Amino acid sequence: MDILTHALSGVLLANSIPEATLEQKIAIVIGTVLPDIPFARAYFLIAKMAKKSLFSLNLNDFTSHGKFVKPKLKTYLFFHSFLILPSLFILGFLFNDFFVFLAFGWILHLVYDLFFHKYEEEELRPKPFYPSKISFNFGLTNGWRFKKSHFIIMWLIHLLLILLITL
Ligand SMILES: [Zn+2]
């Protein structure tokens, strides 16, 4: 999904834990955004190849230029693997619970991506237990197919839920 939907899902989760401190809530929101950051350069590369702006990229651009960013795919899969989470919990218990709340946001990001990254091509499907090759094919749709109006609806739903939970 897009970074704004991920961030809004983080605000939603953070606001649904009233006992959480501001620092813990911020950790959750950071956790919902962080998994995509190491791969962010790949989106710019795809946009350059497709000669389009970052915001007008679609599924076709991703699948036809995806091979140019293939070396970066491993980074993507690494940060989108549930197997990275135990290390965050260990850091949390050893040093600071910031990492535990970061992990909560991280989990939410991974769950969103599982359901919004549905691909025909086996190699593009989410691999929640990377480096295991087991892929996930129970997604609802593919975020790359979203039109601008779909994104706006998605953001509005999140904002509405945040409002309902906060009031
Ligand atoms: Zn992601």
Per-chain mean pLDDT for the chain: 90
Contact between residue 92 and residue 100 where contact means Cβ atoms under 8 Å apart:
yes
Residue 134 Cα, ligand 1 centroid: separation in angstroms?
A: 17
Contact between residue 50 and residue 65 where contact means Cβ atoms under 8 Å apart:
yes
Residue 49 Cα, ligand 1 centroid: separation in angstroms?
A: 21
47-57: average pLDDT: 85
- Residue from 110, 63, 50 nearest 84 by CA: 110
Residue 144: which domain range? 3-166
Q: How many structural domains are present in the chain?
A: 1
Q: Is the pLDDT of residue 71 over 80?
A: no
Residue 167 Cα, ligand 1 centroid: separation in angstroms?
A: 30
pLDDT bucket at 44, cuts 50 / 70 / 90: confident
Residue 38 Cα, ligand 1 centroid: separation in angstroms?
A: 10
State the pLDDT at residue 146: 79
Segment 6-30, tens digit of pLDDT:
999 999 999 999 999 999 999 999 9
Segment 93-125, tens digit of pLDDT:
999 999 999 999 999 999 999 999 888 878 788
Residue 25 Cα, ligand 1 centroid: separation in angstroms?
A: 20
Question: Which residue's entry shows tokens 């795919």?
Answer: 73
- Residue from 105, 67, 112 nearest 84 by CA: 105
Residue 145 Cα, ligand 1 centroid: separation in angstroms?
A: 15
